[in-house]
Structure 1
Amino acid sequence: MALVTASLSDRRCTMKGMTATPFFSADRFQYWAIDFVRNEFEVVTVDGQRHTEALPPPTLRDNQVARSVFDWERWWVWNTTVRGDLFASEAYSPMNTDKGRPAVYLDQNHWSTLAWARVDPSKVKNQDELAAAQRIIALAADAGIVLPLSSAHLTETGPLYGDRRYQVGLMMASMSAGWQLRSPLKVWGNELAAMLAGYEHLPVPPSTKMPVVTLEPLAWSSGGPHAHEIDNDLELFQLVLTEPSVILSTLIDTTPLQRSEASAWVERNRQITELFAAEDLTEAERRRRTTGLFWCENIQELERAAAIVGVDASRFAQDADALVHQLKTMPYLSILSTLFQYRHLDRNARWKSGDFFDMLYLSCAAAYCDYVAAETYTGTQIQQILRQQGKRVNTFVSLTDLVAALDRDGVMTASERAARGDH
């Protein structure tokens, strides 16, 4: 691919200053394709010319993706697995970031229900949940809703293996169709940066305003590269072309991965819960101390956000009243900090490694998605927090309740909208 992209870069440079058709245009290309089986890259232009060359040696040890094709007319990426399954992902465009449909975030256990509903409905014993799963599949398949994936999904799919891993992963990749939930760690930093900028009456950094539900490649990652920061068209296009196959291959790789354990994180939070249980404090004192503790435990995040804004974090951190007030205005952190408060003040709380993903990702989804189907423990607490904050409760612990809310709000497939004459 290096020779192809180099020659394309040269051709693009010769066009600078001209008013001809933009180089990266459907008027020039039919498709770009990566064939992972043949290990080659192919470009086909609208006049039928073909250019093919070998790819570098593969880096994926068990790549289950056979072919990825960028469809210039539809602006989709088509992926075919080695088993012959085919599906499309919407491709990212920096010119259009509006999802246009309600975003529904599913916890991993609900994704498994969707997979069984499609592959073997007899595995779903609750008939109401089966019907709800099938309705969600229909909505996602026909432009009714968006089902974003997160890095938590990629991690939690890892321990599965064989056909189950393949079926669950394929369902997630096909139904999400390229949509992602931005890394909660990035959202955390963005909210802090916006909070600091507001406190100091400074402009909010543009990088903190990126959509949380997005088609942007690698948005799920807390690291880089960040597509919205890439100003090289060719480099950005390569990322857009390859991202769906990377996610798909990660999801359906049939080799199980060992689940990582957040043992230090679990132990630290267990100690905090035991500390509060042993202290003789009023309820108001307990709440105030847990709020302060949330910031002490995460002071590095505050310092990183301060560096983005260009202010002194220590001055802001000393103003406890302003900090607590500003915190309540942050969609994600207001939920997350309260969720930690609930757990730290519950002497019966039993911390486990899965809490890390449940708390960080479900809180972020509740703040920025239209609907959330969560696991019962965290979902119930988020419901309580949203009611306490006077916000619409968008979080549910069953697919049945989720679909009831979607029906209540008139969420329909594109075909259903067309039949009604809606535009």
Structure 2
Amino acid sequence: MSSVQPSQTGASTSNSPEHPWPVRSVATKVSQWIDRLGSIWVEGQITQINVRPGTRTAFLVLRDASVDMSLSVTCSPALIRDSPVPLTEGSRVVMFGKLSFYTGRGTVSLRVTEIRAVGIGELLARIERLRALLAAEGLFDPRLKRQLPFLPHTVGLITGRASAAERDVLSVAGKRWPAVQFEIRNTAVQGPTATAQIVAALAELDSNPAVEVIVLARGGGSVEDLLPFSDETLCRAIAACTTPVVSAIGHEPDNPLCDHVADVRAATPTDAAKRVVPDAVAEQALVAEFRARGAAALRNWVAREARSLADLRSRPVLADPLAAVDRRAEEIGRLREAGRRDVSRLVAGQATVVEHLAARLTTLGPAATLARGYSVVQKIVPGSDPEVLRSVEDAPPGTQLRVRVADGAVIAAVMGKDKSGEAQ
């Protein structure tokens, strides 16, 4: 293998299967790239401290509080011994140092020269800033809270292994509703690995269609112990769940951020069990009370309707329904007789009027006039009906006439005219 190292400018062009880089070249370039980062401040939790007597280097592991990532750290043992606040596994710290790549082993570590413990005041201030941020994004909005199922068949429980919180939830829920089932996920509930484990368990239970509600339970503790439950990653994971989440962290005074994001906040794990699972005895008593109240209401309604029917039956119209018909029948008979009499009188009166009018009509009619000796003279016009003769001028000599008298008519002809008007 050639010992000539490729130049930085021609590295990409000279590297090929025929001209591969030696390990030393790669290690050197990685060391150069990491060295460009310079000195930085890093925050995390100490998960391991290894200080051997007589050595000049202490080895630590710094872990991210939200995800499963860690970094090797080296420092002088004096930094740990002389720290104003004792540094232990689980301490939240801020370190200042520079990343180094050890070409001999191909490992990266952070060589620190300053370590500052994060105090309670700073932690609380950070929690308040995160609280304001999440509230501004609407994660605390009551309108986003989901209703808990009345009677869940399966409850998801995330808690510490063999913890008092687990015992409280299981015992109280079992006494209240023995048929309830649990999907339990035991995770770390404090320390650097807690957040990642809780988020993973939360995602697993949320994806299980049998789980109808998830309970996140932990007993009380210090502010540092409850820090994982104020982590932004966990809060956003709870908000993203499609299954209702109940937060039961610590005791009543404890108020981590997950309490605000969860759909229901329980004061204690025992309170969470009471909120999630109904009390069988109380529900049976309530059902019995409702049944008794329903039966009493039904009996009262039947009695009230029976009284109403009795009142209706006691009324005269229902006690003797034909009495009113008989009275009306008699009245109708009287009215019919009165109507017949009125009609008879009216018909008789009108008959008399008709007789009088007929007599007058007979008197005034042409037959009566003819009976008194008068006649009606009509001129016979060939091809048309006879016409009444009204003037002597209309009947020249020779005109045929029809003379109608009381007992018939005669046919005559005009012999001449006499305008004197006297009888001839």
TM-score, length-normalised on structure 2? 0.21
Higher helix proportion? 1
TM-score by length of 1: 0.21
Higher strand share: 2
Task: Pick 1 or 2: higher relative contact order, CA cutoff 8 A, min separation 6.
Answer: 1
